[in-house]
């Protein structure tokens, strides 16, 4: 199994190209199931999760073709053709590896009138039930049956009638599934308390490009008029705001300066605001976001929240960064109840962190020290990389397959801006 070795202490400086967004890509890809015409996605990141989702689409009868690209290029162009679905079942052996697989539920019901999807797996960062997905499908007219670890959903008469979905709490995935199911319903639908993440805006914009009728995009109330059929489209995946935020933290924790090429400042406003509060200089340029930290870091008090609040996917990276702040910071995790599994690993490197329920108190330390550490989930992996960049000596990060799910060519990008980092195999 691969490991990543980091010899810390180097100040990062230079330009990093921001890849297409993982969370957007995994939402846009299932839209191909809604049409018998080709869907071409540009700027698709080269990630294990993207490959896995492509495999799932293949299982359902869709073909996936990737245009030839040079090895040094970031991003890919994929054309997905689902002219005829050969299956409406997403099997356990695929779904258990990736929670995003549940996002085929809505489009399969919308296109085929039925779907059988295994209960999902993925990162072990807490209980993430799919009851909101199922209640949304029922509100749109689907009949739901749970049996032997699978969700079986059917549309009476082969097509959903549409309806009103009112979420009791904000759910990104459930909103995405509801939108994809509603766009081909017989009638109109309203989705209330919808998530407003930029990735959902990206999803809605793609569906509109495919012929869907959606109003209220970017707000908490989406109104959708069902279409008889959608057509193909060519669409560019939005830049990854979490990747950009992670590299911004890399600049901050090393006292460096990075120009994040392609980053969308508007999509990551809460992250940039928090960085500025910590004393990091942010400059929004045409086509990039410049980040510089040369005067140390101030402590922060942060609480994760649904968009436009501070993203839970940035909590672990900020925790690592704040280990080098001058004072005590308080982070409160409100989205997932088990997202502090990186704390013991950071402590192995000399971090001073106390967890009190959903809050973590991070006291800045003069030095972090390299150590063997183990990644527990995707964003926790990045927090260990960040700590390793600033630590004295060598850090060995194990279980890096988590990183490969969400960061495209991470070590290559960091090497180009001065990091002493490499991937090594057991052999």
Known binding-site positions for phosphoenolpyruvate: 22-23
Say if residue 308 is preceded by a cis peptide, omega within 30 of 0.
yes
Per DSSP, what are the bridge partners of residue 65? 79
Q: What are phi and psi of 73, to 5 degrees?
A: -75, 145
- Are the C-beta atoms of residues 49 and 94 closer than 8 Å to each other? no
d(Cα 205, Cα 146) in Å, to the nearest integer? 32
Per DSSP, what are the bridge partners of residue 374? 398
Q: Indicate the annotated binding residues.
A: 22-23, 99, 128-132, 313, 335
Active-site residue (options: 123, 204, 249, 323): 123
Containing 25, the helix (H) or strand (E) segment is helix 22-28
Q: What are phi and psi of 352, to 5 degrees?
A: -110, 95
Beta strand pairing call for 150-154 and 114-118: antiparallel
Residue 323 is a catalytic residue: no
Q: Indicate the annotated binding residues for UDP-N-acetyl-alpha-D-glucosamine.
A: 99, 128-132, 313, 335
Among 106, 256, 238, CA closest to 179: 106
Containing 332, the helix (H) or strand (E) segment is strand 328-332
| Cβ burial, residue 425 (10 Å; 0-12/13-18/19+) | exposed
d(Cα 367, Cα 350) in Å, to the nearest integer? 7
Residues tagged active-site? 123
């Amino acid at each position: 199994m691969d490991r990543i070795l980091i010899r810390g202490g180097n100040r990062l400086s230079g330009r990093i190209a921001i890849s297409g967004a993982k969370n957007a890509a995994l939402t846009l890809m299932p839209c191909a199931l809604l049409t018998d015409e080709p869907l071409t996605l540009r700027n698709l990141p080269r990630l294990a999760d993207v490959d896995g989702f492509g495999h799932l689409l293949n299982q359902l009868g869709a073909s996936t073709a990737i245009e030839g690209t040079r090895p040094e290029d970031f991003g890919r162009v994929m054309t997905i053709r689902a002219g005829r679905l050969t299956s409406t079942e997403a099997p356990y052996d695929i779904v258990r590896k990736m929670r995003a697989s549940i996002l085929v539920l809505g489009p399969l019901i919308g296109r085929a009138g039925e779907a059988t999807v295994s209960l999902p797996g993925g990162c072990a960062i807490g209980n993430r039930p799919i009851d909101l997905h199922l209640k949304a499908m029922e509100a749109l007219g689907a009949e739901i049956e749970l049996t032997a670890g699978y969700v079986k959903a059917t549309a009476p008469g082969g097509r959903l009638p549409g309806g009103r979905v009112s979420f009791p709490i904000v759910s990104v995935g459930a909103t995405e599934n509801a939108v994809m199911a509603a766009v081909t319903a017989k009638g109109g639908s309203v989705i209330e308390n919808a998530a407003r993440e930029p990735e959902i805006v990206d999803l809605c914009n793609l569906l509109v490009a495919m012929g869907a009728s959606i109003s209220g995009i970017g707000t908490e109330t989406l109104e959708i008029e069902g279409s008889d059929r959608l057509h193909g489209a060519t669409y560019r995946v939005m830049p990854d705001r979490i990747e950009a935020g992670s590299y911004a933290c890399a600049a901050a924790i090393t006292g460096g300066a990075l120009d994040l090429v392609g980053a969308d400042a508007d999509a990551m406003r809460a992250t940039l605001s928090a960085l500025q509060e910590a004393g990091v200089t942010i400059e929004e340029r045409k086509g990039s976001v410049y980040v510089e930290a040369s005067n140390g870091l101030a402590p922060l008090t942060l609480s994760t929240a649904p968009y436009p609040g501070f993203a839970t996917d940035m909590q672990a990276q900020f925790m690592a960064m704040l280990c080098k702040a001058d004072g005590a910071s308080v982070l409160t995790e409100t989205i997932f109840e088990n997202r502090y599994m990186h704390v013991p690993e950071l402590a192995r490197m000399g971090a001073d962190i106390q967890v009190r329920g959903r809050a973590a108190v991070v006291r800045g330390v003069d030095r972090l020290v390299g150590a063997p550490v183990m990644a527990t989930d995707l964003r926790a992996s990045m927090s260990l990389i960040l700590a390793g960049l600033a630590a004295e000596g060598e850090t060995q990060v194990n279980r890096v397959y988590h990183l490969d799910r969400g960061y495209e060519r991470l070590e290559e990008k960091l090497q180009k801006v001065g990091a002493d980092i490499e991937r090594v195999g057991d052999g």
